[in-house]
Structure 1
Amino acid sequence: MKKSIFISGAAQGIGAAIARLFYQQGYKVGIYDINQSQAQILADQLGPHAKAGLLDVANYEQWQTALHEFVAWAGELNILVNNAGILYSGDFEKIAINDHYRTIDINVKGVLNGCHAALPFLKKANFARVINLSSASAIYGQADLVSYSASKFAVRGITEGLDTEWKKYGIRVLDVMPLFVQTAMVKDMDAGSIQNMGVDLTPQDVAEQVLALAQAKGNILTTTHRPVGFKTKVMFTLSSISPQFLNRLSNIYLSRKA
Structure 2
Amino acid sequence: MQSIFISGAAQGIGAAIARLFIQHGYKVGLYDINLAQVEQLATELGKNAKAGLLDVTDPAQWQQALQEFSTWAGQLNILVNNAGILYSGPFENTDLSSHHRTIDINIKGVINGCYAALPLLKQANFARVINLSSASAIYGQADLATYSTSKFAVRGFTESLDIEWQKYGIRVLDVMPLFVQTAMVKDMDAQSIKKMGVNLKPEDVAQQIYELAKLKDQPWLPTHTPVGFKAKFLFNLSKLSPQFINRLSNILIAQKPK
TM-score scaled by length of structure 1: 0.99
Match of 1:165 in 2: 164
Match of 2:91 in 1: 92
Query: Identity of aligned pairs, percent?
Result: 71
Match of 1:232 in 2: 231
Match of 2:192 in 1: 193
1:1-258 to 2 correspondences below 5 Å = 2-258=1-257
Give the CA deviation at 1:219. 2.6
Write the letter of the residue equivalent to 1:101. H
The runs of 4+ residues in structure 1 deviating greater than 6 Å are none
List gaps (5 residues or longer) in structure 1: none
| 2:40 counterpart SS class | helix
| 1:32 counterpart SS class | strand
Question: What's the C-alpha RMSD, in Å, of the aligned pairs?
Answer: 0.6
Alignment deviations for residues 188-234 of structure 1 (CA, whole Å, 9 cap, x no partner) = 00001001000000000000000000011343121000100000000
Give the CA deviation at 1:17. 0.1
TM-score scaled by length of structure 2: 0.99
Distance in 1 separating the partners of 2:79 and 2:56? 13
Q: Is the 8 A contact 1:177 1:227 kept in 2?
A: yes
| 1:86 counterpart SS class | coil
Write the letter of the residue equivalent to 2:61. Q
Distance in 2 separating the partners of 1:204 and 1:110? 23
Distance in 2 separating the partners of 1:203 and 1:74? 25
| 2:80 counterpart SS class | strand
Distance in 2 separating the partners of 1:170 and 1:84? 25
- Bigger shift: residues 223-232 or 209-218: 209-218
Write the letter of the residue equivalent to 2:6. I
Distance in 2 separating the partners of 1:176 and 1:96? 29
Q: Is the 8 A contact 2:180 2:202 kept in 1?
A: yes
Q: Is the 8 A contact 1:177 1:232 kept in 2?
A: yes
